[in-house]
Structure 1
Amino acid sequence: MDITRLEQISNELKQFMAKYKTQNMLGHLSDLMTCISNAKARQELSELTSPMRQLYYLAGLMLSVEPNGDSEINYTYEDWNHIVELLKDIDLEHVKLFYPKDESEVNEEWKRKVNIAMPTFLSYFNLGPLNYEEQVIEEIENVYTPMDDVLTEKYDLCTADLLLFYENLDSWCTYNFASLSTPQLTPLRANWRDYTDLDVGTDFPSMTHDTLENLQALSTFRSDPGIKNRFKPTDLAVDGLPLQKVNTILSLLSTERTNSDFLYYTGCNPIVDKPIVKLGNGLYQVFEEKRVLHAIQSLLDEICKHSSKVNSRLSHHKGAYLEKKIVELFRKFFGKEAEVFKGYYIDGCEQDIIVLYKGKMLVIEAKAYTNKEPFRNTERAFIRIKQDFDRSIGYAYTQCKRVEDKMKKGEKFNLYDKTGKVIKTIDPDDYDGNDFYMIVNQEAFGQIQIDLSSFLTIADGYNYPWAVRFYDLEIFILTLIARKKKPSYFFDFLIMREYLHGHVVCSDEGEICGAYITGQLTEKHAESDKVITFTPCTAAVFDDQYRKGMGFKNEKHWKEKHDASTIFW
C-alpha cells in the first residue's frame, strides 16, 4: 500500500470538511444515519460501502480540523459526490494494506490468511452492530452497578447517574423530534429558537400566530435537522439528576472541534467514545443518542482497567451476567418443560450451561471475551486473530466437545455440581443424535465466527457448534417467540446453520437469522456447495419486529408500539 497516497486522500477529505459549520453539518450527518435502516436518502447512501462507519468518519474528520471560515451549513449535490469518491478511494487504499509486497508471496497459504485477515480487519471498524438500546441499558445496569464503588471514588458518580443522563437526553431528543416534525400534534418548546442559528423566514400575513410558528419550526427542522439533538446542561438536570453531575458527565462524554491528528478511520475517532459535541454559547449537540450508551460502556471499562483486581471483578460480573441472560432466554423460549443446569461438572471440569428439552440437548458455553484490534499487516493480523479465536471460540469448543465425546461414546454419564453431587444422569440413547452445541460470545468476531471452518478442525462424525453473539441470539429468539414459532423451528435452524460452514460469507449473524425467518435461507441453499452471501437487508426483519414490540425487559414505548400512537425514526 502507498501510505503517501492514503494520507493524501484522507487529508484532502479532512480539509474539504473544514468548510462546514459544525452544528449544521453534524445535524445533516446525524440525519443521514437515521435513514440507513428506513431506506431513505438513497441518493446519498447507496454508494457508501459501510454507511455507519463512513458517516462517523466524516463527522470525526470535521471535528478534527478548525473551520476555514466558509461556514457552509449543508453539502451540495456536487460536494456529496466528491466526498463519496474520496471515501471510495480511501476504502481501496485500506484494502491494499493486504496486497502482497511481491507477487512471489502469493500462494494458497497467503490467500487463506488474507481471506481471514482482511474481512476481520474491515468488520472490526464497522460501527453499528445490530443491537437495541434496551439490551445495552440492561447490560450496563447489571454489569457495572456492582462496580459503583470504583466510579464513585473517581468521579462521585454511579452507574444509575450515567443511565439517567442517557434517559434524560433521549427523552429530550425524542420530544424535540415530535414537536418539530409535527408541531400541530406535539406543542413546541417555548424557547425552541434558542437551539438554532438559522432564521428560516415565512411570509404569510394571513396566517394565525400559532400556524405561522408551527410552519417556521417545521421549516427550520428540515433545514437544520440537528436542532433536535441540541441541549443545554440545565435541560438534562431533571428527574433527580443534579446539574453538577450533568456537567461532570458532559466533561467525560463530550468533545470539541479543534485541530487534531485524527486522519484514518482506523484511528481514534473523537466522536466514537465522546459522541456529544460542545458547540459554545452553552449548547451541546449529540451526534447519535444510542452511541452515548456505548460511550458509557467504554468509559466504565476504561475506569476499571486501571487496576488488575478491579478488572478481574468486572470480568466476573460480565461472565455471570452473560450466563444469567442465556438461561433466562431459553427458559422463556422452552418453558417449564426444559431442564436447565448451569455451572455443572464433567470429569472434574466446569461447564457452563446445558438445556434438556423433549429429547433435545443444547450444550452452551458462554464467553465474555474481548477481541483485540487487528493489525494492518496480513501476517501479524492473522496471528492475533487466531490467538483471539483460540482463547475464546476455540477454548469454548473444547468444552463443548467434552460433552460431545460422551454422547458419541454412547454410554451413560453424570453431571455433577461443584460439591461432586450427581445432579443428572444422561443417557445418549434418549437423544438419538439430537445434541446441539452453541458458543455464545459477548462480542462478535465477524467472518471467522460465522464460518468456523477457517480455524476450527472438526473430527469425522462431529458437528460444528453455532457461535453467536448474545445480542444476536436474543433478538432471534425473541422474534421467534413474538411470531409464535415453536422450538422445533429453532432446532431446524441449528441443523441448517451447521451446513453453512465452509461456504458462507457474512460478517453479521443477524443477516443469516433474518434470512431464515423470512424464508430466504432454505435447506437447499444450506446443503449446496455454492458460496452463500448475505446482505444487511435480510436483518431488517428485526427492526420491523422491534417497531411492533420485541419483548425486551422494560422495552421502551411498549404500549405505544401496540396502539401506533408514537412516531419512531
Structure 2
Amino acid sequence: METLDIRKKSLEIQDIISKYTRESFVCFFADFIRHNPERGELGFSKKLKSKLKDSIYLIMLRLSSPIDGEQVLVYSEEVDKNLQKVADILLQMVDFYLGDIYSKDFDEIKNERHKTLVHEMAFKDYFQNGVLNYREQELNKVIRLFHPYQDKIKERLGIELRSLIDICQYSEDDYVKKSIRSKSFIFKKEFSKFAEKSFIGTKLNKKFSNEFFNLPKNIQNDFLDFNERPHSCLLFTKEDYYEVFEKNDVDIFCNLFSIPIDGDYNILFYSQSNPLDAKPIIKINDSEYLNVFQKQLPTALYNLLYATLTASAKETEQLNLRRGKVILERHTRDIFERFFKKSKHLKVFSNYYVNENPEEKDLLIIADGNAFVIECKSSRNREPRRDSNQAFQRIKSDFNDCIQKGYEQCYQVELLILNCPNISIKSNNLVQELDTSYINDVFSIVVTSERFATIQSDLGLLLNKPNAEDLYPWSINIDDLEIFLKTLNLEFNNPTRRFAEFLEYRELLNERLFSRDELDVCAMYFNNPSNFKKICGSSGYIVTDPLLQTHFDELYFSKKIKFKILNF
C-alpha cells in the first residue's frame, strides 16, 4: 500500500492557510460552522466530509502556526481554490488513516466487509461524525447528573451551577438576537426591490452599483457590514454579559471556556485532541470573544464538571454509579412512560427480578400486548488506537461492556417470556405473576449513554448471538430515543403500534446496513413508512441518507418538538 507522510501533508495545509491573518481565518470558519446551510454551495464546502470537525481542525492548525499572515480572508474565487486544495489534502489524510493505520487483518473479523466497516467506524465515527441532538438535551444532562453537587462546584470553580447554565443559555439567545439584527435589512421593502433587480441567482448583474447607491444610507451600511463581517453575530464582549450577570461569574465563565487567539498551540495532526472541544470560544483580543462552536458549550460544561467532580477514585466511582444506575435508568423510564401513557393496558417494572434469577434487570414494559425488555448501559467509547494490533480489541471491548452485555441481559428475560406460560416478577418488594400467553411479541432494547455509531446501527458487525436465528435487539443512544419517540407521538395517532411496527422491521436491517447515526434510519421510517418496510424486507445492502435527518430539525426549529429545561 502506498504510504503517506501525514506530517508533511499537515504542514502543506498549514502553509496554505497561514497566509491569512489569524483573526480573519477563525472568524471565517466560525461563520462557516454556524451558517453552513447557507454556505453549502461554496466550492470547497462540497469537498469537506465533516464540515464541523474539518473546520475546527483547520482553525487550530492555523493558530498553531508561528506565521502572522497578511491577507484578510474574505471569500472569493481565489480563496475558494486555496481551500479546495486544503480539502483535497484532508481527503488524502483521512483515506490514509482508513487504509493504512487499520490495514492488518484481525482474527475476530471473519470477512472483508466486516473489516472495512469496522475500520470505517474506528476513524470516521470517532473523529468526524457530528451528532444530532439539541441544546436543551445537553443542558438537561448537566442538570440531571450534577445538580446534587452544587456546593462542590461552587467551591472548586468559584461559580454556581445555575450561573453556568444561565450563561450557556444566554449565549445562544444573544447570538439569535444579533443574527436577526444583522440581517434585518433583508426584510426591508427597499432592499427586496433592489435584490430583484440586482441579483441573478446568487450573482450580481451589471446594474448593481447604480441600484445599490440609490438605497437609503442605513440599508447600504447594514448590507456592507453584513458582507464584511457575517460572523459579527458570533462575537460578544464581557460588557455585553455584565449587563445581565455578575462580573465575577462572566470572568470565570470566559476563562473556563475560551482560548486566546495568540496562545501557544501545537496541533498538527487531525486525530489530536482539539482544544476547542473543551473550550469552544476564542478570545480575539482584550475586549472581544468569538463563539466558534456554540453547540459544544453544554457538552464542554458537562465534561468540565465531570473532571472537576472526579478528583479521587472514590468520587469517580460514585459519579459513574449515579450516571448509569440513577440518571440513565431514570431518564429512560421517564421517556418510555411518557410515550406509553395513553396505552390501555400498561405495566411497568423497573429494577426487577425474574423468577429465581438473582441478577437485577432494568426495565420491563408490557403495553398493548407487547413486551419491551429494556437494559440501560452507561459505559465508555474510547478513542480508537493508532496501533493496528490494538485498535480492534479496544473497539470490541467497549462494545462488549455496553451493548453485548445489555443484549445478554435482555435475552435472558426474552427467553423466559417466550418459553414460560407464567413468570414471577419482583419489583419494589412486590411480587407479581405475569401470564405471558397475552404477550404477542417481545422486543429487546439496549439504551446507551454513549454513541457507538456504525457498530450500534448494524449490530451484525460485532454482536454475538447464542443462535444465528435469534432476532437482533435494537440499540440506541438515549438522546436519539427521546427524539424518535417524541416524533412518533407527534406524527401518528397510534404511536405505540407504530413503534412495534418499526422495531419489527428495523431488526431486518442488521447485517446489511451502513449508517453512522440511528436517527438516519428513524428518518427513513418517518419519510415513507411503506417504503421503509419494503427496504427492510428486501435483501439489498442499505446506505442511509444523512440529509433525511433534517426532518427532526424542521420539527425542532418550528417548535413542534420541544425539550423543556429542567428546574433544579
Q: Is the 8 A contact 2:182 2:226 kept in 1?
A: yes
User: Are 2:468 and 1:472 equivalent residues in the alignment?
Assistant: no
Structure-2 residue corresponding to 1:441: 448
Q: What does the per-residue CA deviation read over 1:96-146, in whole Å, with 9 as the maximum and x for residues that have no partner?
A: 334547x99999567644532332322011253010111111111121112
Seen in structure 2, the aligned counterparts of structure 1 residues 512 and 316 have a Cα distance that, compared at 3 Å, is same
Secondary structure of 1:393's aligned partner: helix
Give the whole-Å Cα distance in 1 for the aligned partners of 2:463 and 2:304. Answer: 34
CA positional deviation for 1:79 = 1.5
Q: What does the per-residue CA deviation read over 1:203-241, in whole Å, with 9 as the maximum and x for residues that have no partner?
A: 999879xx42343133212222221111111211244x2
Secondary structure of 1:352's aligned partner: strand
Q: Is the 8 A contact 1:35 1:41 kept in 2?
A: no
Structure-2 residue corresponding to 1:304: 309
Structure-2 residue corresponding to 1:333: 339
Residue type at the aligned position of 1:462: D
User: Are 2:366 and 1:356 equivalent residues in the alignment?
Assistant: yes
Q: What does the per-residue CA deviation read over 1:246-301, in whole Å, with 9 as the maximum and x for residues that have no partner?
A: 11121111112334221112101122211110111311111022111111112112
User: Are 2:242 and 1:244 equivalent residues in the alignment?
Assistant: no
Give the whole-Å Cα distance in 1 for the aligned partners of 2:38 and 2:187. Answer: 23
Q: Is the 8 A contact 1:24 1:224 kept in 2?
A: no
Give the whole-Å Cα distance in 2 for the aligned partners of 1:53 and 1:70. Answer: 26
CA positional deviation for 1:65 = 1.9
CA positional deviation for 1:457 = 2.3
Structure 1 gaps of 5+ residues are: 187-201, 557-569
Give the whole-Å Cα distance in 2 for the aligned partners of 1:205 and 1:218. Answer: 10
Structure-2 residue corresponding to 1:168: 170
Give the whole-Å Cα distance in 1 for the aligned partners of 2:451 and 2:102. Answer: 26
Give the whole-Å Cα distance in 1 for the aligned partners of 2:521 and 2:17. Answer: 37
User: Are 2:289 and 1:284 equivalent residues in the alignment?
Assistant: yes
CA positional deviation for 1:49 = 1.6
Match among 504, 513, 521 for residue 513 of structure 2: 504
Instruction: Summarize the alignment of residues 184-195 of structure 1 with structure 2, pairs less than 5 Å apart.
Output: none
CA positional deviation for 1:332 = 2.1
Structure-1 residue corresponding to 2:205: none
Q: Is the 8 A contact 1:97 1:376 kept in 2?
A: no
Give the whole-Å Cα distance in 2 for the aligned partners of 1:180 and 1:119. Answer: 40
Instruction: Tell me the TM-score normalized by structure 2.
Output: 0.87
Structure-2 residue corresponding to 1:59: 59
Structure-2 residue corresponding to 1:199: none
Seen in structure 2, the aligned counterparts of structure 1 residues 15 and 150 have a Cα distance that, compared at 3 Å, is farther
Match among 371, 374, 390 for residue 400 of structure 2: 390
Structure-1 residue corresponding to 2:379: 369
Give the whole-Å Cα distance in 2 for the aligned partners of 1:538 and 1:532. Answer: 14
Q: Is the 8 A contact 1:151 1:158 kept in 2?
A: yes
Instruction: Summarize the alignment of residues 95-174 of structure 1 with structure 2, pairs less than 5 Å apart.
Output: 95-98=98-101, 100=103, 108=110, 112-174=114-176
Give the whole-Å Cα distance in 2 for the aligned partners of 1:16 and 1:148. Answer: 47
Deviates more, 1:131-140 or 1:342-351: 342-351
Q: Is the 8 A contact 2:404 2:464 kept in 1?
A: no
Give the whole-Å Cα distance in 1 for the aligned partners of 2:8 and 2:213. Answer: 55
User: Are 2:415 and 1:405 equivalent residues in the alignment?
Assistant: yes
Instruction: Tell me the TM-score normalized by structure 1.
Output: 0.87
Structure-1 residue corresponding to 2:458: 451
CA positional deviation for 1:528 = 2.3
Secondary structure of 1:49's aligned partner: coil
Residue type at the aligned position of 1:44: F
Q: Is the 8 A contact 1:137 1:293 kept in 2?
A: yes
Seen in structure 2, the aligned counterparts of structure 1 residues 470 and 73 have a Cα distance that, compared at 3 Å, is same
Task: Give the length in aligned residue pairs.
Answer: 534
Instruction: Summarize the alignment of residues 336-347 of structure 1 with structure 2, pairs less than 5 Å apart.
Output: 336-337=342-343, 338-346=346-354, 347=357
Structure-1 residue corresponding to 2:183: 181
Secondary structure of 1:436's aligned partner: strand
CA positional deviation for 1:40 = 3.5
Secondary structure of 1:349's aligned partner: coil
User: Are 2:94 and 1:91 equivalent residues in the alignment?
Assistant: yes
Give the whole-Å Cα distance in 2 for the aligned partners of 1:236 and 1:317. Answer: 34
Give the whole-Å Cα distance in 1 for the aligned partners of 2:59 and 2:552. Answer: 28
Q: Is the 8 A contact 2:258 2:282 kept in 1?
A: yes
Seen in structure 2, the aligned counterparts of structure 1 residues 277 and 475 have a Cα distance that, compared at 3 Å, is same
Structure-2 residue corresponding to 1:81: 84
Cα root mean square deviation, aligned:
2.8
Give the whole-Å Cα distance in 1 for the aligned partners of 2:451 and 2:481. Answer: 11
Seen in structure 2, the aligned counterparts of structure 1 residues 143 and 442 have a Cα distance that, compared at 3 Å, is same
Q: Is the 8 A contact 2:102 2:119 kept in 1?
A: no
User: Are 2:235 and 1:226 equivalent residues in the alignment?
Assistant: no
Structure 2 gaps of 5+ residues are: 189-208
Structure-2 residue corresponding to 1:563: none
Seen in structure 2, the aligned counterparts of structure 1 residues 89 and 205 have a Cα distance that, compared at 3 Å, is closer
Seen in structure 2, the aligned counterparts of structure 1 residues 449 and 343 have a Cα distance that, compared at 3 Å, is same
CA positional deviation for 1:59 = 1.6
Give the whole-Å Cα distance in 2 for the aligned partners of 1:61 and 1:203. Answer: 42
